[in-house]
Amino acid sequence: MVKDFPRTLSLLRQEKGISQRQAAADFQVSQALLSHYENGVREPGLSFVVKAADYYGVSCDFLLGRTMSRDGAALHPDALPDISSEKGNVLKGSAIAMLSKKLLANSQAILMDLLGKSESRPLITAVSNYLFFAFYKMYRFVYLASGSGKEAAFSVSPAYFSELCDVKMKLCEKTLREYCPQGDKKAGLPDMAVTVIEQSYPALAPSLFSLLHDVSEKIEEKK
């Protein structure tokens, strides 16, 4: 069983506001067995997974940590809204490029909207600058790979632009850590719980959750 299952099972029960004893009774298993499932001591069978998914109103894929979309819907580029497109100015490209473009644009739209609601200039500036430096760095690497010739659009030497971007991004991270330590409310950010994001951004949320899930898997890759 995947490692995300016990934690998700426990969080869904807590989200529903019911005790472990009540949930166990509804599942027709002992509380001890449910506790083992929620703590990863034992692995349930397929029938329990299906029953739990129906009970909490989520997909089996969500319960097993295969997707952050509660209904288990698979993402496809054509199914995602494209807020970066304008009439007469729609970008074209390969399927993977189109999917990545939409995931990034939609996820960034949610992030910046949440930051806007905080009305925190230091927070907005730090996050924006971090994203600007990251984009600049990646664009410049691609530009160099393209062999486009003279770098008229860039003033920083190609010999050390990457290192300078890294330094600036680390400074942005430092500002963020100092300004909004974990759990601190002074940043003025709205509730960012998964259910709240789904309700506030129903069209864009799948993009954000897919991006977060994919990056989490990449971070934990052994290779």
pLDDT, tens digit, 9 for 90 and up, residues 112-143 = 999 988 878 888 899 999 999 999 999 999 98
pLDDT (0 to 100) of residue 130: 96
Dist. CA 148–CA 152, nearest whole Å: 10
Residue with tokens 């850590």: 177
pLDDT, tens digit, 9 for 90 and up, residues 82-92 = 665 555 545 55
pLDDT (0 to 100) of residue 81: 66
* 42 in Cβ contact with 67 (< 8 Å): no
Q: What dihedral angle (degrees, nearest 10) is formed by the CA atoms of 75, 79, 81, 85?
A: 110
Higher pLDDT residue, 19 or 148?
A: 19
Whether CATH 1.10.10.10 fits 4-63: no
Question: What mean pLDDT, rounded, does the chain reach?
Answer: 83
Mean pLDDT of 206-214: 89
Asked whether residue 187 carries a pLDDT value surpassing 80, the answer given is no
Q: What are the structural domain ranges in the chain? A: 4-63, 95-219
pLDDT (0 to 100) of residue 183: 54
Would you place residue 72 in the very low, low, confident or very high pLDDT band (cuts 50, 70, 90)? low
pLDDT (0 to 100) of residue 50: 92
3-class DSSP state of 104 = helix
Would you place residue 80 in the very low, low, confident or very high pLDDT band (cuts 50, 70, 90)? low
Dist. CA 67–CA 207, nearest whole Å: 11
Q: 6-20, 25-39, 149-163: lowest mean pLDDT where? A: 149-163
C-alpha to C-alpha distances, 30 to 5, 20, 195, 206, nearest whole angstrom: 18, 10, 29, 35
Asked whether residue 193 carries a pLDDT value surpassing 70, the answer given is yes
pLDDT (0 to 100) of residue 184: 55
- In percent, the amount of the chain with pLDDT more than 90 equals 36
Asked whether residue 12 carries a pLDDT value surpassing 90, the answer given is no
Candidates 95, 6, 87, 94; CA nearest to 43 is 6
Mean pLDDT of 184-213: 84
Q: Which two tokens stand for residue 38?
A: 């929620």
